Chains A and B, each alone.
Chain A
Amino acid sequence: MGSGDKKLTELLEQKKGKIVEEWIRRIHHTYPDETANFLKEEKNEFANPIGASIQQSVWPLYDEIISGHDSDNLYKCLDYLIRVRAVQDFTPTAAVAVVSFLKDIMREELLETIEEQGLYREYLALESRIDNAVMAAFDVFMRCRERVWEVRHNDITQRPFVLSGGMCASYMLRRGKKHLEKMKCGKNPSLN
């Protein structure tokens, strides 16, 4: 690690609290005001699952983006945050754009120091890592959306709770095939 990288990492560590808290605040404000206030105020993770998903994702995500060491962990950090947004009222861009908020906040917080200390080269590498995280967030988003469709498909094929139009023939055939031989020789309970 060069001395510029070291300086930048130190700066990011130093500003971590302020940057991440602002990041969380902006994510909260992608929801209507009443909701944003609630997400901020309610600290119990079970009474506030959206807030918890943000808290639990964003802090480790910040560390991961700074270090840029472990791509598996990057996806893991993004998962709960994006999984929640993927089923809410957001367009795909609005669902993943919350990751790019970090770029705006960092520029606001750090640009002056970057300029003073001549850390542009290192800073550009950091921004590229944020860009990568946004793209990874889109991967996660798509995986979640595909999962929603799989769940819908499984619901129809594996868990037919109410059948439209009467019996589901294929389901009965599948079960019937398995027991066909037994049906032939088995005694059926009779209707009294």
Chain B
Amino acid sequence: MAKELTPQEMLRIDLSPPTQDWMDIPVEIKPGIYCYPAKPEKLEIVGMPNAHEWNPLDEDWNLPEGWKETFLEGMRERLDKHRTFKIFMDICVRCGACADKCHFFLGSGDPKNMPVVRGELIRSIYRGEFTKAGKILGRLAGGRKLTEDVLKEIWSYMFQCTECRRCSLFCPYGIDTAEITIIGRELLNLLGLNINWIQEPVANCYETGNHLGLLPHTFVQNIEFLLMDIEEYVGIKIEPSFNRKGAEILFITPSGDVFAEPGIYTLMGYLMIFEHIGLDYTWSTYACEGGNFGFFTSLEMAQRLNAKMYHEAERLGVKWILGGECGHMWRVVHQYMNTFNKPVPTMEEPVSPITGTKFENAKSLKMVHMSEFTADLIKHGKLNLDPSRNDHYKVTFHDSCNPSRGMGMFEEPRYIIKNVCNHFYEMPENTIREQTFCCGSGSGLNAGENMELRLRGGLPRANAAKYVHEKYGVNMLANVCAIDRAVLPASMEYWCPDMQVAGVSELVANALIMEGEGPRTMNLRGEEIPGMAPAEEESEGTEDV
């Protein structure tokens, strides 16, 4: 008689997770978790090496000949070039302080998403291939050799990190795992192993100036559409200039705001604020993207795509640059731009032409963040505001990783929101400011095919948002990042469906009382503002019977 099966065996339910050492658990690349590989032609456009067709689900990735040497040579070069990388490889004592700080670990429960283990993926190669102890003792010294399986594991987990740097906040040695991911992705790029969601925007940005691949006339047309919406909902006709030489300020924002909802409402907000204060500024159809997916590819690519900002400032002869609400754009701008590409000598230290405020923090950079600019306008009473127009919103603020941890901007957006909304509630302390949780889809992981991964990564943020929604009735998640605006709606749809998402400038524009405006019964989304609808006309034709 055959052996009797237990109920669990009968259903083949396997509820026992693997118990081996992490190095012995092979990576499993599954649909819903990985992003599609870069199209070879998109790599070729920017001259990236080893463009080839491959599929992450296949056994054979068609790796280029000599791939292992290329990878290790690339690693050697970067160990010599970046002292931080060398130190991060050497000094981690695996104390585990970072282990439970990553949103992907907290949402997936996968130990390889602990930042310490993600770092170990590369560190084990460093030990096994570059250190004497590792070469001799191998596993005993935490080292291993680079094999195809190891490469696949590195690929999978380098694209399960959003470079948000929350883990670095807790590391007693100051190890920044995001920088390990940055180098890890650079090494993968040497083998033509980028993902398309990063590579196509990079190619688009190189060819047209923006991620979307919008050509100049389309860029202008899209903004025209939004101007028509403003005319309809606000009753104001705005005619901004494009590529105007001699303007005082050049305005650059992420192209996500030009095209995608709800970012377009933020862009309508910018247009209205600038009109209200009579700012002498211009848009560029060349430097028409603040975001920089090059940063998720290699530092050289980030530098190359960033160059257009100062170039355009020089061509148009502007004094300084004002930047829209964006996340990683500000990491690149704030931490790299003026060493990547030198500001042109004709540019000046930014001074607000409306308030006279000198933005001394931007003295060298020559670029000011929209929230710094708006907070200054409010502080000087330059915006005429009616916050009650936002009374139907109970607002909380999500600190985007890069403006918060990357540039230390915490107060300005909160100051603005408190001046344009009457109902503001903070999320729990360990989920905001420096400790903010990532949206779960940054650093080029905001594709559609990896939605399960995004939802896992989005859980810690959504969990805090759900808490303020249930406790205070919060229904608006405000932020200053275009990727947040693009991805948080998806995360909220799944985890907290009654929560909407908006850029801070949209909320400002809702509250803005503009000269010559019509009756403000609609918000920028074309929705009726509760309590502001016109009185209904008396119905005709009703007769008493």
List the interface of chain A (C-beta within 8 A of B).
29-35, 38-39, 42, 44-50, 52-53, 83-84, 87-89, 91, 93-94, 97, 144, 147-148, 150-152, 154-156, 158-164, 166-167, 175-176, 179, 182-183, 186-192
Contact = CB atoms under 8 A, between A and B. Distances in A.
Contact of B260 (A46, A52, A159): A159
Interface in B413-469: 428, 430-431, 446, 448, 451-452, 455-456, 459-460, 463-464, 467
Nearest to B17: A32
A33 B22 CA distance: 11
Contacts of A190: 242
Greatest chain A CB density within 10 A among B12, B13, B32, B214 is at B13
A188 B493 CA distance: 37
Contact of A158 (B107, B197, B261, B431): B261
B490 A154 contact: yes
A53 B462 CA distance: 12
A38 B100 contact: yes
A187 B197 CA distance: 36
Given A154-B493, A191-B242, A97 B13 contact: yes
Contacts of B114: 34
A49 B100 CA distance: 11
B85 to A, nearest CB: 26
Given A93-B13, A161-B259, A191-B220, 20 more contacts: A30-B15, A32-B17, A33-B19, A35-B109, A35-B111, A38-B100, A47-B100, A49-B106, A49-B107, A49-B460, A52-B463, A89-B28, A94-B14, A97-B8, A154-B493, A161-B483, A163-B259, A189-B224, A192-B243, A192-B244
Interface residues of B, number: 75
Contacts of B464: 46
Contacts of A182: 228, 231
A156 B459 CA distance: 21
11 contacts: A46-B463, A46-B464, A50-B106, A50-B459, A91-B14, A148-B452, A162-B201, A163-B213, A167-B218, A182-B231, A189-B224
Interface string B82-120: 000000000000000001100001111111001000000
A94 B15 contact: yes
Greatest chain A CB density within 10 A among B105, B110, B463 is at B463
B204 to A, nearest CB: 8
Contacts of A42: 100
Contacts of A87: 452, 455-456, 494
B355 interface: no
Interface string B124-137: 00000000000000
Contacts of B110: 32, 35, 89
A48 B430 CA distance: 11
A88 B456 contact: yes
Interface string B318-332: 000000000000000
Contacts of B214: 167
A103 to B, nearest CB: 9
Contact of B261 (A30, A89, A159, A188): A159
Nearest to B217: A191
A159 B490 contact: yes
B55 interface: no
B438 to A, nearest CB: 13
A53 B107 CA distance: 11
Contacts of B244: 192
B54 interface: no
A31 B17 contact: yes
Contacts of A150: 493
Contacts of A34: 99, 111, 114
Nearest to A189: B239
Interface in B185-220: 196-197, 200-201, 204, 211-214, 216-218, 220
A34 B17 CA distance: 11
Greatest chain A CB density within 10 A among B14, B15, B218, B455 is at B15
A1 to B, nearest CB: 30
A179 B228 contact: yes
Nearest to A32: B17
Contact of B451 (A144, A148, A188): A148
A189 B201 contact: no
Interface in B220-275: 220, 223-225, 227-228, 231, 239-245, 256, 259-261
Contacts of A88: 108-109, 452, 456
Contacts of A46: 428, 430-431, 460, 463-464, 467
A183 B15 CA distance: 61
A94 B13 contact: yes
Contact of B17 (A33, A167, A188, A191): A33
B430 A44 contact: yes
B410 interface: no
Contacts of A189: 220, 223-224, 227, 239-242
Interface string B479-507: 00001001101100111000000000000
A176 B222 CA distance: 10
A151 B494 contact: yes
Query: 8 closest Cβ contacts across the A-B interface?
Result: A49-B463, A161-B486, A32-B17, A31-B109, A35-B109, A87-B455, A34-B111, A87-B452
Given A89-B108, A94-B13, A189-B224, A147 B260 contact: no
B234 to A, nearest CB: 15
B451 A155 contact: yes
Contact of A148 (B108, B225, B486, B494): B494
Contacts of B26: none
Contacts of B11: 93, 97
A16 B16 CA distance: 25
Contacts of A147: 493-494
A34 to B, nearest CB: 5
Given A35-B111, A179-B228, A152 B451 contact: yes
Contacts of B495: 83
